[in-house]
């Protein structure tokens, strides 16, 4: 089988070849039009704007664990969008906008390396991305830009079935200065000097775009050839310093690690403003992994945690045997992961890989598959639309083995989510009714009397039951009404 890390961009080239055969008489834009015709639920993309669109300022203030937007700290649902030409991105932005997500993570090497032989920014390449940024701004969507990824700087050995190193512009085989990928991480090397100068030019070119939320230096840096934690930290710190010198808006900076272990000193570096995790549990229990990992990482490193990307399986959707990604009831596991992210302490939710955009590279999935998950976070986004996450913390909670979930909140507001604990992969079987379940958790502050509204998670807006509860000591106990699958609640001080 081929893992997600082995296949991340190999699929791009496979699909490009396949599409060139399939649409030999069509332009790329014609191919997309045909895809839209075959799938009428996909709305045509609007023409992107040609001037910068003003958007509310988004910030990550020192000491905060969530982005601030519109005067509130908000948990934002995010997506990983992908494609080999701008039109695919524009369509995915349409799905993002309609589905309730407010942020996308974009890997800039997806439409080519973007660098000329003399080290300048490729203007045509940059203009393609600017179409995407304009469209995102028009839809009120913020972007996180990832400059480069592990597959550009891995030579394919010993454990990797794919790398993009042979096509990398910096490779000496292509007239570049690097004999090996490790040259990027050597201080003072021609490769590092040229790459850093190119990256800084991009920051200077795009820094005034108001919908850029953050810069991601490197995706899954621990998979690059010839890199250690020490050299990885040195590279990220040098790059971060250049970004800060070029970006007058001082946006937050991150770099991510693959889900193969932690580099503690890497996460503790001042170059990393927020930690960027990529959970792909072999068990497929994505919601449980998120609920376990996020609070632990926050407690250990005292930094905000973003789910950069995630999935039910790291293996590609076309693997044999079939993975959980394409299983019949995978949508149940995805729903649980989205709601779990919301109550985990993470600064975002959703952040899926295959379901958000990368499924476009697989002919057996493509637009029908992406459309299936287009609204997967809509109910959750409606549920938290007016919630201010300022000072939200995961709360200590007790419950029986019949259910699982989490509670998070501050002195004035609390939200929680719980599900049928027996609903697990690969089949995600549900009990008809979950009944007589209590949830007890520690409450912050001094408020004694609280109003609790329990919600239908399929809508995020329909209240099933309301009650008033008085704390006992430091704890509140909520007796959940009968439910099937899962249930959520909000809690406020009662008048």
Lowest-pLDDT choice from 68-77, 111-120, 176-185, 227-236: 111-120
What pLDDT, on the 0 to 100 scale, is given for residue 118?
A: 87
pLDDT in tens, 155-180: 886 555 578 898 898 999 999 999 99
3-state secondary structure of 99: helix
| H/E element, 294 | helix 286-301
| pLDDT top residue among 29 and 231 | 231
Mean pLDDT of 351-362: 96
With beta carbons less than 8 A apart as the criterion, state whether 253 and 243 touch.
Answer: yes
What is the Cβ-side half-sphere exposure of residue 295, based on CA atoms within 13 angstroms? 19
pLDDT in tens, 243-280: 999 999 999 999 999 998 889 999 999 999 999 999 99
Mean pLDDT of 377-399: 97
What pLDDT, on the 0 to 100 scale, is given for residue 217?
A: 98
pLDDT in tens, 442-492: 999 999 999 999 999 999 999 999 999 999 999 999 999 999 999 999 999
Count of positions (residues) in the chain? 495
Where does residue 123 rank: exposed (0-12), middle (13-18), buried (19+ CB within 10 A)? exposed
Distance between CA 447 and CA 139 in Å, rounded?
Answer: 40
Q: What phi and psi, each to the nearest 5 degrees, are found at residue 271?
A: -70, -20
Number of H helices, E strands in the chain: 12, 20
With beta carbons less than 8 A apart as the criterion, state whether 400 and 477 touch.
Answer: no
Torsion, CA 255, CA 261, CA 264, CA 265, rounded to 10: -60
Q: What's the mean per-residue pLDDT of the chain?
A: 89
| Residue 295 predicted with pLDDT over 80 | yes
| pLDDT top residue among 155 and 309 | 309
Task: Pull the structure tokens for residue 34.
Answer: 């045909």
Task: Pull the structure tokens for residue 37.
Answer: 């015709």
What pLDDT, on the 0 to 100 scale, is given for residue 495?
A: 73
Q: How far is CA 103 from CA 58, 73, 324, 327, 337, in A?
A: 11, 15, 26, 27, 17
What pLDDT, on the 0 to 100 scale, is given for residue 19?
A: 31
The DSSP output letter for 395 is P
| Residue 35 predicted with pLDDT over 80 | no
Give the predicted TM-score (pTM) of the model. Answer: 0.89
Lowest-pLDDT choice from 26-35, 120-129, 365-374, 439-448: 26-35
User: In 3D, which of 489, 333, 349, 346 has the Cα closest to residue 420?
Assistant: 333
What pLDDT, on the 0 to 100 scale, is given for residue 163?
A: 84
Question: In DSSP terms, which residues pair with 483 in a beta bridge?
Answer: 434
Q: What phi and psi, each to the nearest 5 degrees, are found at residue 110?
A: -70, -25
Distance between CA 248 and CA 31 in Å, rounded?
Answer: 40
With beta carbons less than 8 A apart as the criterion, state whether 278 and 3 touch.
Answer: no
Distance between CA 165 and CA 175 in Å, rounded?
Answer: 13
Return the CATH fold of 4-383: TIM Barrel (3.20.20)
pLDDT in tens, 408-439: 999 999 999 999 999 999 999 999 999 999 99
3-state secondary structure of 310: strand
Task: Pull the structure tokens for residue 419.
Answer: 């599900």
With beta carbons less than 8 A apart as the criterion, state whether 450 and 469 touch.
Answer: yes
Task: Pull the structure tokens for residue 263.
Answer: 């580099």
Alpha helix (H) residue ranges in 53-122: 86-99
What pLDDT, on the 0 to 100 scale, is given for residue 8?
A: 46
Which CATH architecture does the domain made up of 393-493 adopt?
Sandwich (2.60)
Q: How far is CA 471 from CA 13, 397, 407, 487, in A?
A: 59, 14, 15, 21
What pLDDT, on the 0 to 100 scale, is given for residue 157?
A: 64
Where do the structural domains in the chain lie, given as residue ranges?
A: 4-383, 393-493
- Which string of DSSP letters, residue by residue, matches 458-470? TTSS-EEEEEEEE
| Residue 72 predicted with pLDDT over 50 | yes
With beta carbons less than 8 A apart as the criterion, state whether 461 and 455 touch.
Answer: yes
User: In 3D, which of 440, 443, 421, 426 has the Cα closest to residue 479?
Assistant: 440
pLDDT in tens, 188-215: 999 999 999 999 999 999 999 999 999 9
pLDDT in tens, 124-150: 999 999 999 999 999 999 999 999 999
What pLDDT, on the 0 to 100 scale, is given for residue 437?
A: 98
Mean pLDDT of 43-62: 66
- Which string of DSSP letters, residue by residue, matches 184-240? GGSTT-HHHHHHHHHHHHHHHHHTT-TTEEEEEEEESGGGSTT--HHHHHHHHHHHH
| H/E element, 477 | strand 475-480
What pLDDT, on the 0 to 100 scale, is given for residue 45?
A: 35
């Amino acid at each position: 089988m081929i893992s997600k890390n082995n296949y991340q961009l190999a699929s791009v080239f496979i699909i490009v070849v396949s599409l060139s055969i399939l649409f030999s008489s069509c332009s790329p834009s014609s191919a997309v039009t045909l895809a839209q015709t075959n799938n009428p639920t996909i709305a045509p993309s609007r023409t992107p704007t040609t001037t910068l669109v003003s958007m509310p300022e988004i910030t990550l203030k020192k000491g905060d664990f969530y982005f601030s937007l519109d005067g509130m700290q908000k948990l934002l649902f995010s997506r990983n969008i992908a494609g080999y030409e701008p039109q695919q991105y524009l369509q995915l932005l349409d799905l993002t906008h309609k589905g309730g997500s407010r942020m996308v993570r974009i890997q800039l090497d997806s439409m080519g390396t973007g660098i000329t032989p003399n080290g300048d920014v490729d203007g045509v390449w940059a203009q393609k991305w600017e179409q995407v940024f304009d469209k995102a701004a028009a839809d009120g969507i913020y972007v996180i830009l990832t400059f480069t990824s592990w597959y550009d700087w891995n030579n394919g050995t010993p454990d990797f079935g794919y790398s993009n190193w042979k096509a990398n512009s910096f490779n000496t085989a292509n007239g570049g200065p690097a004999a090996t990928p490790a040259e990027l991480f050597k201080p003072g090397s021609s490769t590092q000097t040229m790459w850093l100068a190119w990256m800084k030019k991009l920051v200077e070119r795009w820094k005034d775009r108001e919908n850029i939320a953050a810069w991601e230096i490197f995706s899954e840096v621990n998979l690059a050839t010839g890199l250690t934690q020490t050299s990885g930290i040195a590279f990220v710190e040098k790059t971060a310093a250049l970004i800060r010198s070029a970006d007058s808006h001082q946006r937050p900076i991150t770099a991510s690690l693959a889900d193969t272990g932690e580099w503690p000193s890497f996460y503790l570096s001042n170059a990393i403003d927020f930690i960027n995790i990529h959970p792909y549990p072999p068990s497929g229990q994505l919601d449980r992994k998120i609920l376990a990992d996020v609070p632990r990482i926050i407690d250990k490193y005292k930094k905000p945690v973003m789910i950069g990307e995630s999935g039910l399986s790291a293996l590609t959707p076309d693997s044999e045997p079939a993975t959980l990604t394409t299983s019949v009831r995978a949508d149940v596991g995805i729903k649980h992961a989205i709601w779990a992210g919301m109550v985990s302490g993470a600064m975002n939710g959703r952040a899926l890989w295959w379901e958000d955009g990368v499924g476009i590279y697989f002919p057996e999935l493509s637009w029908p598959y992406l459309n299936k998950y287009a609204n997967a976070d809509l109910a959750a986004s409606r549920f938290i639309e007016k919630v201010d996450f300022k000072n939200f913390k995961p709360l200590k909670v007790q419950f029986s083995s019949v259910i699982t979930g989490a509670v998070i909140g501050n002195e004035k507001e609390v939200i929680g989510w719980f599900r049928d604990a027996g609903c697990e992969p690969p089949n995600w079987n549900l009990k008809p009714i979950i009944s007589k379940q209590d949830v007890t958790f520690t409450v912050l502050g001094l408020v004694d009397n609280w109003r609790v509204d329990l919600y239908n998670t399929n809508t995020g807006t329909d209240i099933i039951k309301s009650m008033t509860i008085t704390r006992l000591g430091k704890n509140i106990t909520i007796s959940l009404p009968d439910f099937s699958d899962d249930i959520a609640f909000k809690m406020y001080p009662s008048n």
